A and B are shown apart, each in its own frame.
Chain A
């Protein structure tokens, strides 16, 4: 039986929610954000900041929305004079010892203390300058985390994250009364592989990322929904860019994949997206010469197409498991009619689970789309493919800088940067990286998830799926003169729809339906 529904009214809006829902969550469904600090849906309820005080009819006093369960016929008022005055009182007290150093605070612009004070706080202080504010020096908590105690509002989100989610309780509340601060175990460090989440969880500028320190003001950032490329978990992330430079990676909630969290490996795995040594134009070898010449896409496509048309025998594709599913699909289509084999290699690392969340870990397999490659028929036997490449007539390398390939045939290199060995290629085609294009990855559990463009690609670089689909079109539908679904593809949506229409594993999925949260691929069986 589905959950029993309870109907209640919040600020005059009727809502029906499952029994046991907290008022603060029910309010979201009524379009009401009850101001709060200690409450976080990913953490155990603490009920201590008292910011979410609301008026509930028939209750003798104000109640906290974060710890009160809904009841049938309940009437909640968040805007009654009592509720507003209760919350204004909390805000005033949170600010009396707060340094109000917003102009130099990293959190300014995305600070819940700023937001709620602006929304319903007191316009002027009754505390300063009569009384001194509490002072404690900045503490170094761990490899990436600074603690600025003066800004701390003691909501204990960080303490609860480390204790109940990471299960490594290195933080606590030390001292009591207004002397209290967040303490760290005398022999501990905030160096858990998921510790960086405390920075996101902190509603104020008290826990700061050293990596992001002073990089940007919140309002200078553009945000794009993306998928972490750090491993096969497929955590949903937001890429924050400032002037076309990725400056921060933060978790994007997805209850099915990563809840509200990402690991530090993923968080720090973005600098390569800003590399300056990019290939910015297609490069081709003209008339058997030894030089690569920069050219336009038309000539590049002609050069590659002529190589493919003339090819007989084996073709080998060595692809990156960081390539989009769409790129991997069209790369395969390129060789339709040829004796084709494709493979990818995955860098392995240590697995680092987040103990308090089932099925969430930094996975040993450090690639976002190995599963997608498998579903499209690429093999994990990279060594065999490299060996086969020696005698192949065409070898395509897709963004694998570590190419150990020797071939008697034609080498076509499609990538973001130009490794030394790629200079042997007949053609080098510049592509966008994950931050510069739209596409999908399939995570280890077979969930197909979209990522969105966060910044522009340099020069003439284009999404790999576009490059391959254009080549397929140039060839008239497929390499080796074979037939197949040709035609130009203008958007990632079209690319995905073509893939879904022709690959059994993706049948029935549509790009819009994937939305921001993704969907499970219908086929679970991975081709051997």
Chain B
């Protein structure tokens, strides 16, 4: 449901069914709505069977990478020789993304139930739910929910801990998150080893996104076939997805649609379209880290993993940022670059220095002091920042720069040629 808006007829309300329903936040209210039945059932099942059902459902990671969830779980050692851990990535920090926040605010028990089922599936006895530090309300809701459910004894031998982040975007990267849990600086780790071999505290670990886990009880309840059937386009993308829409639409909010739903319908029908008198200019479909789509690409894009890639971008986290024709694209791209420059962990040279330099070049262009060679320099820097570092923060900074220059070159050239008034002071 497009909370705070009423559900739209074109939505497929599954995860967001109870958004806005305060009673569903309580343990009793959740049980009344059928909650924790699937956990009780899963705990009696062979872990491998749970993994198989999730594999069959086609569920893929909702944090951004879209990796098949069941397959990820199956990477954990079958024969348990060391303690297994499950980490829940609730460090939702991707600019433009606010879906996990709503799941935690309204249906904390859906997350806890899915988490416990996953822990059982991968034979983890300890779970860390790493919640973004700025999420004060979700934190309080999750604390209350965990206390209630733990008191009710629904988790069996599984121990769940909430861990609060301290405000670093990079801690949403899975290995940085693990370092942070361990009390270390939140730096991404070089891989291999992958988390399933050596994750948190060096033990086999699986890490999943909030939205991914919240879907798991429903998959068990309604069956893998039902979930798999929720697919409008590519059969490789199944289920529903929450899209956080912000920017220049009349009704920004979270909307839940079936995989393969047209982006155009999301923007024009569900979100009420672009503000009056304006037209669509561009859209970032999957959180700030993915390439920008222009109007034509946006209006022909299908929202699933394959559909967005076909348009040259990525589904990412489902954070949809909409720009109308009043938008200064150069300024927007500078703001994104500045964000990444601020959040770089400082390990890799390309990221530490490249994100900052990229920002400086963009700021100079906006100050009316850009040079003709700057665009080539930006692209060359972006090339240098892509695919060469430990994690993808650097790539994420480069993506909007490259797509922005490619698709909105004239706006850059107008600043450089002095045809547009500077908006910044050098």
B346/A175 in contact, CB under 8 A: yes
The distance from the CB of A204 to the nearest CB of chain B, in whole angstroms, is: 13
B residues less than 8 Å from A153 (CB atoms): 349
B352/A177 in contact, CB under 8 A: yes
**Among A48, A89, A175, A176, which residue has its beta carbon within 8 angstroms of that of B384?**
A89
A residues less than 8 Å from B345 (CB atoms): 176
A62/B388 in contact, CB under 8 A: yes
A93/B349 in contact, CB under 8 A: yes
**8 Å CB interface, B330-352 against A:** 341-350, 352
A61/B388 in contact, CB under 8 A: yes
A93/B353 in contact, CB under 8 A: yes
B349/A61 in contact, CB under 8 A: no
B387 within 8 A of partner (CB)? yes
B344/A178 in contact, CB under 8 A: yes
> Of A26-34, A102-110, A124-132, A333-341, which stretch is located at the interface?
A124-132
A residues less than 8 Å from B342 (CB atoms): 176-177
Would A50 and B387 be within 8 Å (CB), given that A127-B357, A131-B357 are in contact?
no
**Among B343, B349, B384, B388, which residue has its beta carbon within 8 angstroms of that of A177?**
B343
B349/A51 in contact, CB under 8 A: yes
Main SS at interface, chain B: helix
B residues less than 8 Å from A127 (CB atoms): 357
**8 Å CB interface, A142-178 against B:** 153-154, 156, 172-173, 175-178
Interface string of B36-58 (1 = CB under 8 A from A): 00000000000000000000000
A357 within 8 A of partner (CB)? no
Cα A154 to Cα B352 with chains together (Å) = 10
A94 within 8 A of partner (CB)? yes
A residues less than 8 Å from B347 (CB atoms): 46, 48, 154, 156
The distance from the CB of B348 to the nearest CB of chain A, in whole angstroms, is: 5
B352/A130 in contact, CB under 8 A: no
B364 within 8 A of partner (CB)? yes
A67 within 8 A of partner (CB)? yes
Cα A352 to Cα B168 with chains together (Å) = 39
A86 within 8 A of partner (CB)? yes
**8 Å CB interface, A344-386 against B:** none
A176/B344 in contact, CB under 8 A: yes
Cα A176 to Cα B166 with chains together (Å) = 14
The distance from the CB of A288 to the nearest CB of chain B, in whole angstroms, is: 77
B252 within 8 A of partner (CB)? no
B389 within 8 A of partner (CB)? yes
A86/B388 in contact, CB under 8 A: yes
B390 within 8 A of partner (CB)? yes
**8 Å CB interface, A38-71 against B:** 45-51, 53, 61-62, 64, 67
B357/A173 in contact, CB under 8 A: no
B355/A177 in contact, CB under 8 A: yes
B352/A180 in contact, CB under 8 A: yes
Cα A89 to Cα B348 with chains together (Å) = 12
B residues less than 8 Å from A61 (CB atoms): 387-388
B residues less than 8 Å from A179 (CB atoms): 346
Cα A173 to Cα B170 with chains together (Å) = 15
**Among B170, B190, B352, B356, which residue has its beta carbon within 8 angstroms of that of A45?**
B190
**8 Å CB interface, B365-391 against A:** 377, 383-384, 387-390
Interface string of B85-129 (1 = CB under 8 A from A): 000000000000000000000000000000000000000000000
Chain B residue at minimal CB-CB distance from A92 = B384
**8 Å CB interface, A96-147 against B:** 96-97, 126-127, 130-131
Cα A173 to Cα B347 with chains together (Å) = 9
Chain B residue at minimal CB-CB distance from A93 = B353
B360 within 8 A of partner (CB)? yes
Cα A130 to Cα B377 with chains together (Å) = 13
A residues less than 8 Å from B360 (CB atoms): 131
A90 within 8 A of partner (CB)? yes
Cα A173 to Cα B343 with chains together (Å) = 14
B388/A172 in contact, CB under 8 A: no
B357/A96 in contact, CB under 8 A: yes
CB within 8 Å: A-B pair count: 88
Would A53 and B388 be within 8 Å (CB), given that A177-B346, A177-B352 are in contact?
yes
A residues less than 8 Å from B287 (CB atoms): none
B354 within 8 A of partner (CB)? yes
A126/B349 in contact, CB under 8 A: no
Chain B residue at minimal CB-CB distance from A176 = B346
A residues less than 8 Å from B190 (CB atoms): 45-48, 64, 67
Would A97 and B353 be within 8 Å (CB), given that A47-B390, A53-B388, A131-B360 are in contact?
yes
B residues less than 8 Å from A178 (CB atoms): 341, 344, 346, 352-353, 355-356
Cα A131 to Cα B353 with chains together (Å) = 13
Cα A62 to Cα B348 with chains together (Å) = 14
B185 within 8 A of partner (CB)? yes
A154/B346 in contact, CB under 8 A: yes
B377/A126 in contact, CB under 8 A: yes
Chain A residue at minimal CB-CB distance from B344 = A177
A172/B346 in contact, CB under 8 A: no
Chain B residue at minimal CB-CB distance from A91 = B349
B350/A90 in contact, CB under 8 A: yes
Most buried by B among A49, A50, A62: A50
B residues less than 8 Å from A126 (CB atoms): 377
The distance from the CB of A262 to the nearest CB of chain B, in whole angstroms, is: 29
B384/A173 in contact, CB under 8 A: no
**Among B343, B346, B349, B355, which residue has its beta carbon within 8 angstroms of that of A90?**
B349
Chain A residue at minimal CB-CB distance from B387 = A61
B185/A173 in contact, CB under 8 A: yes
Most buried by B among A94, A153, A178: A178
**Among A48, A86, A93, A172, which residue has its beta carbon within 8 angstroms of that of B390?**
A48
A93/B357 in contact, CB under 8 A: yes
The distance from the CB of A375 to the nearest CB of chain B, in whole angstroms, is: 46
Chain B residue at minimal CB-CB distance from A179 = B346
The distance from the CB of B286 to the nearest CB of chain A, in whole angstroms, is: 21
**Among A67, A94, A131, A176, which residue has its beta carbon within 8 angstroms of that of B349?**
A94
B387/A177 in contact, CB under 8 A: no
The distance from the CB of B391 to the nearest CB of chain A, in whole angstroms, is: 11
B388/A93 in contact, CB under 8 A: no
Cα A61 to Cα B350 with chains together (Å) = 15
B residues less than 8 Å from A47 (CB atoms): 190, 390
**8 Å CB interface, B152-199 against A:** 168, 170, 185, 190
B residues less than 8 Å from A90 (CB atoms): 349-350, 384
Cα A50 to Cα B168 with chains together (Å) = 23
Cα A45 to Cα B356 with chains together (Å) = 26
Cα A151 to Cα B346 with chains together (Å) = 15
B residues less than 8 Å from A64 (CB atoms): 190
**8 Å CB interface, B189-247 against A:** 190
B364/A50 in contact, CB under 8 A: no
Chain A residue at minimal CB-CB distance from B373 = A126
The distance from the CB of A48 to the nearest CB of chain B, in whole angstroms, is: 4
Chain A residue at minimal CB-CB distance from B376 = A126
Cα A33 to Cα B10 with chains together (Å) = 61
B349/A86 in contact, CB under 8 A: no
A residues less than 8 Å from B353 (CB atoms): 93-94, 96-97, 178
Chain A residue at minimal CB-CB distance from B340 = A177
Cα A361 to Cα B412 with chains together (Å) = 61
B384/A93 in contact, CB under 8 A: yes
Most buried by A among B185, B347, B355, B377: B347
Cα A62 to Cα B385 with chains together (Å) = 12
Cα A51 to Cα B388 with chains together (Å) = 10
B residues less than 8 Å from A51 (CB atoms): 349
A176/B357 in contact, CB under 8 A: no
B185/A50 in contact, CB under 8 A: no
Chain A residue at minimal CB-CB distance from B168 = A176
8 A-B residue pairings within 8 Å (CB atoms): A45-B190, A50-B389, A64-B190, A90-B349, A93-B354, A126-B377, A130-B364, A178-B353
Which 5 A-B pairs give the minimum distances between C-beta atoms?
A180-B346, A89-B384, A178-B356, A93-B353, A47-B190
If A89-B388, A172-B185 are given as contacts, then 13 extra A-B residue pairs at C-beta distance below 8 Å, sorted by A number, are A48-B190, A50-B350, A61-B388, A62-B387, A89-B350, A93-B354, A130-B364, A131-B360, A176-B168, A176-B344, A177-B355, A177-B356, A178-B353
